[in-house]
Amino acid sequence: MTIYYHDYAGGPNATTIEIPGPSTGQLNFTKFGAMFCTDDPIYKGIKKDSVPIARGRGIYIISALDGTQAQMLMSVVFINGKYKGSTIEIQGSYEQSLVHASEAAIVGGTGKFRLARGYATFEIVSYDPVTGFSITRSNMTVIHY
């Protein structure tokens, strides 16, 4: 399954915020210990002109002293389509990179993804540093009952 997270890290409609919010108004994704909360719309394709199929809801914490790794706890919450009401739960440490894909474990799920196991890769396919908007492609291999 391939899905696309549309992340807005700035502006009035931000879908990712720092906890607590930065005093400067600028998010720092490489500061050790920085925590973020996210609620990104997820689409089947790269373009956002269709109805979102899910939301990427969760938290991540910059867990490496040099800021290159983050610990992620993410729920893919399906809101439309044949998986509506189901979730896929993703957890793990991943490398923050604009160059190559990173990987995290699928550790569970609900509804149609009950007892899910597998892995998800994450690759940034588009990033605008001025607006803070990025699109991340995730390929998920899921085994479930």
β 133-143/117-128 pair status = antiparallel
Chain-centre distance of CA 59, in angstroms? 9
> Average pLDDT for residues 45-61, to the nearest whole number?
90
94 within 8 A of 70, measured Cβ to Cβ: yes
pLDDT of 23 above 60: no
Report which of residues 107 and 10 the model is more confident about. Answer: 107
> Average pLDDT for residues 71-81, to the nearest whole number?
96
> Average pLDDT for residues 74-99, to the nearest whole number?
91
74 within 8 A of 39, measured Cβ to Cβ: no
DSSP code of residue 22: P
| Residue 20 to residue 40: CA distance in whole angstroms | 18
| pLDDT given for residue 89 in this prediction | 98
117 within 8 A of 143, measured Cβ to Cβ: yes
> Average pLDDT for residues 70-95, to the nearest whole number?
95
N-terminal to C-terminal alpha carbon distance within the chain: 16
pLDDT of 98 above 80: no
| Residue 110 to residue 121: CA distance in whole angstroms | 20
